[in-house]
Structure 1
Amino acid sequence: MVVGVKTTDSGVARTNGEHEFTTLGSTDLHVGRILALRVDEVRMPGGGQARREVVEHLGAVAVVALDDDEQVVLIHQYRYPVGRRLWELPAGLLDVAGEEPVRTAQRELAEEAGLAARDWSVLVDVATSPGFTDESVRVFLATGLSDVERPAAVGDEEADLVIRRFPLAEAVRMALAGEITNGPAVAGLLAAQAVRDGRQQARPVDAAWPDLPRRFHQRQSR
């Protein structure tokens, strides 16, 4: 054993954050409309290889829309994979090529909630499940709300949406009580509470987003 290099019980040398996880090969298993599934062969510490299943995602935005009474707009929406309706923030995919994330957020707020906002800032960026997907969601704070007309044509899921406003403190309670479980919604609501209480500052709308998904967008542009 090399002096100064610690090993695990399995005999693999600990690299203390210095190993480069090189991709040795990649195979596509599925390429769909909003995501792709691939399997990569990756060089692991100690010289071995491992298979990693990766879901490529478009990325998304969500909006904590607060009115003058500190009430937040929530959407009750059926989510087929979990088999029930969830309380969520107005949100949408980054599915328009070249569109700035804040513009996507503005469009989704109008389409889902019939609202526009005067002031925009960034609350948090959420890597939803980095163990298997590159999906990242940017959550914006929108204030200075005004009503706009929602599009007449909506999709099947949007036709079933329920829109309701809750006091921000009540929405935070719901998140901590397990009544709101959508990850970006939980993170966004807690961040909004910290910002509105003066404990933290929101970031500008063009703040750096290192984890903005790119791989699936690159597939679409080929």
Structure 2
Amino acid sequence: MTGARYELRGRTERFAGRIFQVFSDEVAMPDGGTAVRDVVRHVGAVAVVALDDAGRVVLVRQYRHAVGDYLWELPAGLMDVHGEDLAGAALRELAEETDLTAARVDVLVDLHSSPGFSSERVRVFLARDLAEVPTDQRHDRHDEEADMQVTRVDLDEAVARALAGEITNAACVAGLLAAVRARDAGWAPLRPVDAPLPR
């Protein structure tokens, strides 16, 4: 329905943590009624499609407790460092998880990871002109990152794996598909690194 208004009538906080808060919101509906919607307010995240000169994408295999399994993903992380911009966070995560830096960074795609209940927004960057982080400056990985596997896969092969259901992380699937489309269009769809987030 065009022009419909959904107004917040009330909010009850159910949980507050470092990464997200959970609220039960009472929302006015266009038909005059109200409904309760449980909402996760999330700090947001970034992810990186890092492509080397051979056209291979850098993937990480990391254990995810919520699904009880290892998933193939892009280097990624939370927007949980105060004052850090999106591109800076993406480059930090790339260095921490893969020991790589990038001389060229562009915006590839933006997505809401699960808009039915979460406000999480993920900006996926394309990183190129990769170089190794010097050994003495590398990040010391802990927790789930301690046994993280890092590999490089031909971009088309990675897309084939996503389409076969072998890669299921939402940001990874979206980033891989967007990267292939952008590559095939001569990189014309890329946005500048400081492009504003869409509303």
Please state if 1:159 is matched with 2:146: yes
When residues 193 and 152 of structure 1 are mapped into structure 2, their CA distance, relative to the original with a 3 A threshold, is closer
Which residue does 1:11 correspond to in 2? none
CA contact (8 A) 2:56 2:155 kept: yes
Superposed displacement of residue 201, structure 1: 1.6
CA contact (8 A) 2:95 2:139 kept: no
Q: Distance in 2 between matches of 1:194 and 1:118?
A: 22
Q: Distance in 1 between matches of 2:37 and 2:138?
A: 41
CA contact (8 A) 2:99 2:139 kept: no
Residues 100-147 of structure 1: per-residue CA shift (max 9 Å, x gap):
100000000000000000100011001011111000100000000000
Q: Distance in 1 between matches of 2:62 and 2:50?
A: 17
Unaligned stretches of 5+ residues in structure 2 = none
CA contact (8 A) 2:96 2:139 kept: no
Task: Map 1:29-44 onto structure 2 (within 5 A).
Answer: 29-44=14-29
Please state if 1:204 is matched with 2:188: no
2:49 aligned partner, one-letter code:
V
Q: Distance in 1 between matches of 2:185 and 2:198?
A: 26
Which residue does 2:33 correspond to in 1? 48
Q: Distance in 1 between matches of 2:81 and 2:92?
A: 11
Which residue does 1:193 correspond to in 2? 180
Report the secondary structure of 2:143's partner residue: coil
Q: Distance in 2 between matches of 1:71 and 1:79?
A: 24
Superposed displacement of residue 210, structure 1: 2.9
Runs of at least 4 residues of structure 1 off by over 6 A?
none
Q: Distance in 2 between matches of 1:198 and 1:44?
A: 42
1:144 aligned partner, one-letter code:
D
Superposed CA RMSD in Å reads 1.2
1:184 aligned partner, one-letter code:
A
Q: Distance in 2 between matches of 1:152 and 1:68?
A: 24
Unaligned stretches of 5+ residues in structure 1 = 1-15, 212-222
2:197 aligned partner, one-letter code:
W
Please state if 1:129 is matched with 2:129: no
| Aligned counterpart for 2:98 among listed residues 92, 96, 113 | 113
Please state if 1:80 is matched with 2:68: no
Please state if 1:101 is matched with 2:86: yes
Greater strand fraction, Structure 1 or Structure 2: 2
Q: Distance in 2 between matches of 1:134 and 1:98?
A: 20
CA contact (8 A) 2:49 2:176 kept: yes
The count of residues paired between Structure 1 and Structure 2 equals 196
Superposed displacement of residue 50, structure 1: 0.4
Report the secondary structure of 1:153's partner residue: coil
Superposed displacement of residue 152, structure 1: 4.6
1:62 aligned partner, one-letter code:
A
Report the secondary structure of 1:157's partner residue: helix
Report the secondary structure of 1:104's partner residue: helix
Which residue does 2:46 correspond to in 1? 61
Q: Distance in 2 between matches of 1:151 and 1:158?
A: 13
Which residue does 1:178 correspond to in 2? 165
